[in-house]
Amino acid sequence: MEQSILIRDTEVKVTDILDMIARGLSYYQILLSDSRLTLADIMVSAKLAKELIDNFVTPEHTIVVNGSIHVAASGGRIHNVTKLREEHPRAFMKWSEEEEQQLAELFLAGKNMNEIARVLKRRRGAIKLRLQRLGLLKEEETES
């Protein structure tokens, strides 16, 4: 039988909180996910994880984490770029002149944001922002 460490009387598992942190959710997003949670619950979960590692991982049993997670801050949020790139391989990469030209051509040819995002392997929001920066789309304009 699997045992879990629960947060107070919420029935929320500490591992669920740690999973949300690992996925790049902000504290605010975690709090919104369950009204029973408090900021202190998040902090206690992280502290517990740190204490477990400090107390139970010895030099003879060192845990080595291979790989990396790339994050980016945008619009007041932290994004797990590694995860985003599973669906959008060019997410958060610098735009080349060729890509900007292709973007403009696709947009002027009448392609919608989703089609352009799929072709350029970027998020829909990135497409919209780049079109605005290029002066092809005004901020108040929305996709039909």
pLDDT, one tens digit per residue, over 126-142 is: 999 999 999 999 876 65
What is the rounded distance in angstroms from the CA atom of residue 45 to the CA atom of residue 52?
Answer: 11
What is the rounded distance in angstroms from the CA atom of residue 11 to the CA atom of residue 38?
Answer: 13
Could you state, in order of their start, the residue ranges of all structural domains in the chain? 6-61, 81-144
pLDDT band at 144 (very low <50, low <70, confident <90, very high): very low
pLDDT, one tens digit per residue, over 42-53 is: 998 888 888 877
Mark out the alpha helices in 1-144 (DSSP H runs). Answer: 14-22, 27-33, 39-56, 81-87, 97-108, 113-120, 124-133
Counted residue by residue, the chain has a size of: 144
